[in-house]
A and B are shown apart, each in its own frame.
Chain A
Amino acid sequence: MPVAASAVYFLNLRGDVLINRLYRDDVGGNMVDAFRTHIMQTKELGTCPVRQIGGCSFFYMRISNVYIVIVVSTNANVACAFKFVVEAVALFKSYFGGAFDEDAIRNNFVLIYELLDEIMDFGYPQNLSAEILKLYITQEGVRSPFLSKPADKPVPNATLQVTGAVGWRREGLVYKKNEVFLDIVESVNLLMSSKGSVLRCDVTGKILMKCFLSGMPDLKLGLNDKLFNFFLNIFFNYGKTIELDDVTFHQCVNLTRFNSEKTVSFVPPDGEFELMKYRITEGVNLPFKVLPTIKELGRTRMEVNVKVKSTFIEKLFALGVVVKIPVPKQTAKTSFTVTSGRAKYNASIDSLVWKIRKFPGQTEATLSAEVELISTMTEKKSWTRPPIQMEFQVPMFTASGLRVRFLKVWEKSGYNTVEWVRYITKAGSYEIRC
């Protein structure tokens, strides 16, 4: 059964109900008490996001300082429920203009009630697209289209658009200048052993799009993926191709067509959205290599040497490079020498934090530090050595090698569009064991 929820609760960290909505009466109104006593107030919190208490099951997620709890008593679709929460939060954020937290909920409770009524009916998720909902659920009730216009003339097509095949774009948009912005954002995830062998490495990328296009345009996107343009590569020798492991698309992309013709064609929503996500595991260009050597000299002293090398071309540079090197809890004193950037000891995360604002390609930087430890008798267990973690951003670089070949915009009025493409690679979980 695809039912996702019988009731939805929004709780603050103390467990007070901020807002709740019962969609079905198979769960009692006081079920949230069970959640509070059996999960929130116990060590269970955070050990498992799906729990059964009595005849009911609870799914919960924490988002900033709010717990969103879904209660069901049937064999509900959990995947659907969690996805609903994620999407609903995105929707609320888009309405509140950014933040989603306890205050935002209190300040907008009327609006949230209204949205909750609209986006889920009897436990079945309905249209959650902010673009369409904003047509008839407005920020200020007073400015509701039904008041500004005579009652017998409802907002044109609102209901048709909610239910229509293109349920994410409204008609009749007009822009003076037709522009499309494409951002290719990649996160590199790396897990490297202390000996330097790559245990796991993948890139999860997404293509973010910002569209300011008039009318109902049809777009077609071409990438240098093998799948996408097999023929183009054969006939036009389009250069290097890469192989994506998996692609998922925004609901605007025609999946059947992608499957048969291998083209990404779509009618985009207006404004900003995530067009596609992809994953790649083969042939990843790691932007940084990290070579740590950590020596424990007796019980009270440690020597830390970390060398970081950038492997991308000289013309490019990385921004906001941070290397976090964990040290034992009983660290007393540290001293550093670094070839670039700045390092300091941060006791709250038990790490040496080394920051380099700008890191050019094909260079290397080293940190050597001496750490003095307080010798303790109680600490019998040896130090577990968490991995070194790294953060960075490399503009105009893709770890996957992905490139946009073309973006075609077709609209019946035949206007010209300007396309902008940017690339950036960030660190996902970039971990090196030491």
Chain B
Amino acid sequence: MSRNDSKYFSTTKKGEIPELKEELNSQYKDKRKDAVKKVIAAMTVGKDVSSLFTDVVNCMQTENLELKKLVYLYLINYAKSQPDLAILAVNTFVKDSQDPNPLIRALAVRTMGCIRVDKITEYLCDPLQRCLKDDDPYVRKTAAICVAKLYDINAELVEDRGFLDSLKDLISDNNPMVVANAVAALAEIQEHSSRPIFEITSHTLSKLLTALNECTEWGQVFILDALSRYKAADAREAENIVERVTPRLQHANCAVVLSAVKMILQQMELITSTDVVRNLCKKMAPPLVTLLSAEPEIQYVALRNINLIVQRRPTILAHEIKVFFCKYNDPIYVKMEKLEIMIKLASDRNIDQVLLEFKEYATEVDVDFVRKAVRAIGRCAIKLERAAERCISVLLELIKIKVNYVVQEAIIVIKDIFRRYPNTYESIIATLCESLDTLDEPEAKACMIWIIGEYAERIDNADELLESFLESFPEEPAQVQLQLLTATVKLFLKKPTEGPQQMIQVVLNNATMETDNPDLRDRAYIYWRLLSTDPEAAKDVVLAEKPVITDDSNQLDSSLLDELLVNIATLSSVYHKPPDAFVTRAHTSAQKAEDEEYPEGSETAYSESSSANPANGAVSTSASVAPPSPPPAVPVPDLLGDLMGMDNSLVPTDEPATPAGPPLPILLPASTGQGLQISAQLTRRDGQVFYSMLFENNTQVPLDGFMIQFNKNTFGLAAGGPLQVPQLQPGTSARTLLPMVMFQNMSQGPPNSLLQVAVKNNQQPVWYFNDKIPFHVFFTEDGKMERSAFLETWRSLPDSNEVSKDFPAIVIGSVDATLERLAASNVFFIAKRKNANQDVFYFSAKMPRGIPLLIELTTVVGSPGVKSAIKTPSPEMSAFLFEAIETLLKS
């Protein structure tokens, strides 16, 4: 039986507002109700009916629940724009909150919480206090949420009035829905607060797990989400928790299932027994697969999450690849995600089947999907060495269909396959060349040209092929021009005959004279000079062997993956970005309160730092460093410190004693860190590299839960253990030595000495700062060489490995002191000789992995100017080495 409310939307002629006003003040109940409905209808379509505020509020005092609800709805929408008039409603609210009917009591509290007007908020406290202790569970569950609403408006008020304690009491309520809402409210408040408010102890944990059985489906989600933050003490506890959560996997509600999966995955990290883990993986697979029969939108969310889950636990769905085969009528976003997962699950066992599927998809209609399917074949080839040949033959079949975009996509992936398996599949180049003229997309063209250039010696008519592209050189996009330039140079170097020589003239002319693209011009000039000065060197540079590329289908970094897995089912897991990369309003009222205490600087500093967060969490992503979970703040030393009245600058007990040493450079000034100041430097001690850090807490709150991560860097430096910093009381500081390991997370690209660090704690946003890696910390203790060994090494290295640099400003005053200082940094003195008025010193040092470094310093003692020459098997490091030498000599 449907009603006909649409009549309320019909507009009357002019003077609608006055007419409504009149009706609202009518003496007849029904007329008043109809009028309010008309007002709401007008509000819905976006008309401004705020001028009727007083008249609508006058209708509030009614017995009719439906009318009351409509008036309340109006109030929620307009109270903010009419704060002074909103006060008129307060009396009724307060009265309603004491109504004998629990529905009305709850309604009043619920609505009051939605009206974000300060004056009303003050009046809300007493009714809320009463309702939190109401006899009726319906009122209590509404009041619980209302505390979270109030906290959002005025956190201080909530804390002062003791609502948090009342809320915590509700966790022990005998009604499951009240418990669930209280948990949701507490979890939300905790998220916005810097203080520990809602700490889950093993006692609350067990209580909440029991409540799970009786909650509504949504309540189960609230509880599971809140509990997923809980860190079990040991494997046994983790197993217990998991055992009580696994029944939820059978729930019909997808949100319950995903939250249960999240919690199980968290606890699994602690479980050591492989049997238990295997068993859990087995249990999780079917529910995950079942999610794929839900609505497509839910499927999408599930697939994005499964993508993460299989990266961490590939075994879970290893045998289920078939369920990810695309249905013809799947929406495109589902198909794309399925494809992504198929690549991840592809293995030598199932690749034949998978290839058949990909081939099928490559003939479908949607161009983007077809392209992705072709690319998927290439990615499988790169991932599975043994299947590469089969993948390539499929690609060749597809090329033969001669559908333009399929061919182009295939060529792009084949280029990558060549780079993955050099000198294996070049026989197919002839086939590729056949489709040369169909290429019209820059990327495909560029790839084809790269292939021709790279394999010019095996393609008989390479010069003709390239020449055909050259005709249109000036019109090509930059990407293609660059490749053409390089390919022509390669061709010339490989076949220095007349044809290519002419071509190269044309190209170089074109690329230097007739272009505005600085990249192209620069590259052309470099080639030109190389070719004209030393063709052999040109060969070394241009035809150098390329590093073999690897499979990137498991692209997410492990620490980012950790963070995303904690966020299963949330937006973060759908975007594959950490929450702070897209949530801007991170800290609300709590933050505001804090900011007020730092009137100057801190506010701007905060916004600055938050904008500096790399969009996709580039810094925090890397590094397999600090395990995300264990709270490093050990309460014991903290307590001891307090008890014994010691200075709070505690040294974590299990660390090597930290000598006072010279002051560390400040990397995160207090003004940027909202009161947290971090100084740090890399040092070497007892054969190991440490990150010596000093934390100073100038905020008003204790800081704890410090964690650290390092971005990928040239030397692959990463933390060798968790950061051991105790809880920092305001005004205190702590020093720590963080052991470091090398070659953990190496960055690609040109070497540099930049070290990007991210530090977080439980109270503040993540701080990012940069440090410079002083290379001398890598010199190992066993770098001392015998004279003879030194000479032999020197001779055995080719002269091209010798690099030298002048430090005109450096003066070596005292030879002994300098030698001592160098020796302290593991640069060992070997010998000294006189050359005219100059002294020549020889030193040896050893870099990690046993790479020797030989140094020759030439100087006149006491006068400025030091010439330094180094010889090492890896001269590409020389820039760093000189930097290190300079630092050591200077200090």
Q: In the complex, what's the smallest C-beta–C-beta distance from B582 to chain A, in angstroms?
A: 6
**Interfacial residues of chain B within 236-253, with CB under 8 A of chain A in the complex:** 246-248, 250-253
Contact check, B188 vs A3: say whether CB atoms are below 8 A apart: yes
CA distance A389 to B213 in the complex (A): 43
- Asked whether A165 is an interface residue with its Cβ less than 8 Å from the other chain, the reply is yes
- Asked whether A57 is an interface residue with its Cβ less than 8 Å from the other chain, the reply is yes
Q: In the complex, what residues of A have CB within 8 A of residue B9's CB?
A: 106
- Asked whether A248 is an interface residue with its Cβ less than 8 Å from the other chain, the reply is yes
Q: In the complex, what's the smallest C-beta–C-beta distance from A281 to chain B, in angstroms?
A: 8
Contact check, A26 vs B327: say whether CB atoms are below 8 A apart: no
Contact check, A122 vs B217: say whether CB atoms are below 8 A apart: no
Contact check, B5 vs A110: say whether CB atoms are below 8 A apart: yes
Q: In the complex, what's the smallest C-beta–C-beta distance from A359 to chain B, in angstroms?
A: 23
Stretch from B49-57, B140-148, B689-697 forming part of the interface with A: B140-148
Contact check, B250 vs A199: say whether CB atoms are below 8 A apart: no
Stretch from A46-54, A218-226, A306-314, A339-347 forming part of the interface with B: A46-54
What are 5 A-B contacts with C-beta separation under 8 Å?
A: A60-B297, A80-B255, A139-B1, A429-B327, A429-B328
With most chain A CB atoms within 10 A of its CB, the pick from B2, B6, B8, B148 is B2
- Asked whether B132 is an interface residue with its Cβ less than 8 Å from the other chain, the reply is no
- Asked whether B705 is an interface residue with its Cβ less than 8 Å from the other chain, the reply is no
Q: In the complex, what residues of B have CB within 8 A of residue A144's CB?
A: 64-66
Known contacts A79-B255, A108-B3, A200-B325; decide if A246 and B286 are in contact (CB<8 Å): yes
Contact check, B41 vs A109: say whether CB atoms are below 8 A apart: yes
Stretch from B264-272, B360-368, B450-458, B651-659 forming part of the interface with A: B360-368
**Interfacial residues of chain B within 547-595, with CB under 8 A of chain A in the complex:** 567, 569-575, 579, 582-585
**Which of under 10, 10 to 19, 20 to 34, or 35 or more describes the interface residues of B?**
35 or more
Known contacts A1-B225, A75-B572, A154-B103; decide if A279 and B328 are in contact (CB<8 Å): no
Q: In the complex, what's the smallest C-beta–C-beta distance from B101 to chain A, in angstroms?
A: 5
Contact check, B177 vs A79: say whether CB atoms are below 8 A apart: no
Name A60's closest neighbour in chain B (CB-CB): B297
Known contacts A78-B571, A251-B217, A274-B252; decide if A111 and B225 are in contact (CB<8 Å): no
Contact check, B138 vs A277: say whether CB atoms are below 8 A apart: no
- Asked whether B176 is an interface residue with its Cβ less than 8 Å from the other chain, the reply is yes
Query: How many chain A residues have a CB neighbour from B under 8 Å?
Result: 111
- Asked whether B377 is an interface residue with its Cβ less than 8 Å from the other chain, the reply is no
Q: In the complex, what residues of B have CB within 8 A of residue A47's CB?
A: 332-333
Stretch from B288-296, B762-770, B795-803, B852-860 forming part of the interface with A: B288-296
Stretch from A175-183, A363-371, A380-388, A415-423 forming part of the interface with B: A380-388
Q: In the complex, what's the smallest C-beta–C-beta distance from A297 to chain B, in angstroms?
A: 20
Stretch from A253-261, A288-296, A392-400 forming part of the interface with B: A253-261
Q: In the complex, what residues of B have CB within 8 A of residue A75's CB?
A: 567, 570-572, 579, 582-583
Q: In the complex, what's the smallest C-beta–C-beta distance from A294 to chain B, in angstroms?
A: 14
Q: In the complex, what's the smallest C-beta–C-beta distance from B94 to chain A, in angstroms?
A: 17
- Asked whether B69 is an interface residue with its Cβ less than 8 Å from the other chain, the reply is yes
Produce 1/0 per residue, B663-705, CB < 8 A to A.
0000000000000000000000000000000000000000000
Contact check, B360 vs A433: say whether CB atoms are below 8 A apart: yes
Q: In the complex, what's the smallest C-beta–C-beta distance from A176 to chain B, in angstroms?
A: 24
Contact check, A127 vs B325: say whether CB atoms are below 8 A apart: no
Contact check, B222 vs A167: say whether CB atoms are below 8 A apart: no
Contact with A110, one of B40, B255, B305, B583 (Cβ below 8 angstroms): B40
Contact check, B73 vs A117: say whether CB atoms are below 8 A apart: yes
Contact with A48, one of B3, B67, B333 (Cβ below 8 angstroms): B333
CA distance A23 to B184 in the complex (A): 15
Q: In the complex, what's the smallest C-beta–C-beta distance from A384 to chain B, in angstroms?
A: 5
Contact check, A114 vs B255: say whether CB atoms are below 8 A apart: no
Q: In the complex, what residues of B have CB within 8 A of residue A152's CB?
A: 100-101
Contact check, B2 vs A97: say whether CB atoms are below 8 A apart: yes
**Interfacial residues of chain B within 855-875, with CB under 8 A of chain A in the complex:** none
- Asked whether B218 is an interface residue with its Cβ less than 8 Å from the other chain, the reply is yes
Contact check, A2 vs B300: say whether CB atoms are below 8 A apart: no
CA distance A26 to B588 in the complex (A): 10
Contact with B255, one of A83, A249, A256 (Cβ below 8 angstroms): A83
Contact check, A107 vs B103: say whether CB atoms are below 8 A apart: no
- Asked whether B178 is an interface residue with its Cβ less than 8 Å from the other chain, the reply is yes
Contact check, B252 vs A124: say whether CB atoms are below 8 A apart: no
Known contacts A107-B3, A141-B66, A255-B251; decide if A159 and B216 are in contact (CB<8 Å): no
Q: In the complex, what residues of B have CB within 8 A of residue A23's CB?
A: 114
Contact check, B584 vs A82: say whether CB atoms are below 8 A apart: no
**Interfacial residues of chain B within 283-323, with CB under 8 A of chain A in the complex:** 286-287, 289-290, 293, 295-298, 300-302, 305, 322-323
Contact check, A159 vs B225: say whether CB atoms are below 8 A apart: no
- Asked whether A77 is an interface residue with its Cβ less than 8 Å from the other chain, the reply is yes
Known contacts A17-B44, A259-B250; decide if A50 and B574 are in contact (CB<8 Å): yes
CA distance A385 to B401 in the complex (A): 14
- Asked whether B638 is an interface residue with its Cβ less than 8 Å from the other chain, the reply is no
How many A-B pairs have beta carbons closer than 8 Å: the answer is 305
Contact with B356, one of A48, A82, A193, A389 (Cβ below 8 angstroms): A193
Produce 1/0 per residue, A64-99, CB < 8 A to B.
000000001111111110111010000000001100
Q: In the complex, what residues of B have CB within 8 A of residue A136's CB?
A: 103
CA distance A420 to B598 in the complex (A): 72
Q: In the complex, what residues of A have CB within 8 A of residue B585's CB?
A: 26, 55, 73-74
Contact check, A279 vs B250: say whether CB atoms are below 8 A apart: no
CA distance A124 to B184 in the complex (A): 8
- Asked whether B175 is an interface residue with its Cβ less than 8 Å from the other chain, the reply is yes
Contact check, A204 vs B293: say whether CB atoms are below 8 A apart: yes
CA distance A237 to B572 in the complex (A): 51
Name A429's closest neighbour in chain B (CB-CB): B327
- Asked whether B113 is an interface residue with its Cβ less than 8 Å from the other chain, the reply is yes
Name A75's closest neighbour in chain B (CB-CB): B579
- Asked whether A270 is an interface residue with its Cβ less than 8 Å from the other chain, the reply is no
Contact check, B5 vs A248: say whether CB atoms are below 8 A apart: no
Contact check, B570 vs A113: say whether CB atoms are below 8 A apart: no
Contact check, B46 vs A199: say whether CB atoms are below 8 A apart: no
CA distance A430 to B46 in the complex (A): 46
- Asked whether A431 is an interface residue with its Cβ less than 8 Å from the other chain, the reply is yes
Known contacts A1-B225, A204-B293, A248-B250; decide if A151 and B325 are in contact (CB<8 Å): no
- Asked whether B624 is an interface residue with its Cβ less than 8 Å from the other chain, the reply is no
CA distance A7 to B284 in the complex (A): 33
Contact check, B252 vs A127: say whether CB atoms are below 8 A apart: no
Q: In the complex, what residues of A have CB within 8 A of residue B67's CB?
A: 141
Q: In the complex, what residues of B have CB within 8 A of residue A163's CB?
A: 137-138, 141, 175-178
Name A162's closest neighbour in chain B (CB-CB): B138
- Asked whether B603 is an interface residue with its Cβ less than 8 Å from the other chain, the reply is no
Name B297's closest neighbour in chain A (CB-CB): A49
- Asked whether B780 is an interface residue with its Cβ less than 8 Å from the other chain, the reply is no
Contact check, A79 vs B213: say whether CB atoms are below 8 A apart: no
Q: In the complex, what residues of B have CB within 8 A of residue A77's CB?
A: 221, 225, 255, 259, 569-570
CA distance A296 to B44 in the complex (A): 58
Q: In the complex, what residues of B have CB within 8 A of residue A411's CB?
A: none
